[in-house]
């Protein structure tokens, strides 16, 4: 009877030792286009110290070509986007994601972006593609 107990305890300890331990530090993050500051670190971000841009939350920097994974939204984080207008980089095409996060969530810990109030995402497209004027019969592009 004792041998059986020790065998089960040994198997349980062995199984626990083989489980990978992950340190998930899910956090509520905030973005506010009116009062935010993109120089705020991931650790310091909070309701009273939000970022200014969605890019800062998605990429960990304001430049999607120079991401900083440790400073971007991470698995399990919820990014609360306060009411306002935010510029979206890219071509304006629906096939060009404006804010693809550099970090990945998981099925159990997704990265969530949640609007608080009316959030407007305005495409920021190349000057050559900006509509200068429009009427019922035509659209004129700026050159």
Phi, psi of 58 (to 5 degrees): -75, -40
**How many angstroms separate the CA atoms of 43 and 127, rounded?**
36
pLDDT in tens, 7-66: 454 554 544 444 444 455 799 999 999 999 999 999 999 999 999 999 999 999 998 889
> pTM of the prediction?
0.70
Tokens of 9: 């305890």
- Cα angle, residue 85 at apex, residues 81 and 36 outer, rounded to 5°: 55
């Amino acid at each position: 009877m004792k041998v059986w107990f020790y065998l089960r305890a040994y198997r349980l300890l062995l199984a626990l030792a083989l489980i990978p331990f992950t340190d998930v530090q899910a956090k509520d993050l905030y973005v506010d286009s009116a009062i935010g500051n993109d120089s705020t670190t991931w650790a310091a971000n909070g309701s009273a110290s939000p970022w200014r841009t969605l890019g800062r939350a998605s990429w960990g920097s304001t430049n999607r070509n120079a991401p900083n994974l440790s400073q971007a939204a991470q698995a399990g984080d919820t990014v609360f986007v306060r009411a306002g207008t935010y510029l979206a980089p890219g071509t304006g095409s629906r096939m060009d994601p404006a804010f693809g996060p550099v970090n990945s969530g998981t099925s159990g810990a997704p990265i969530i972006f949640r609007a608080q109030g009316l959030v407007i995402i305005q495409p920021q497209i190349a000057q050559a593609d900006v509509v200068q004027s429009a009427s019922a019969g035509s659209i004129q592009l700026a050159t």
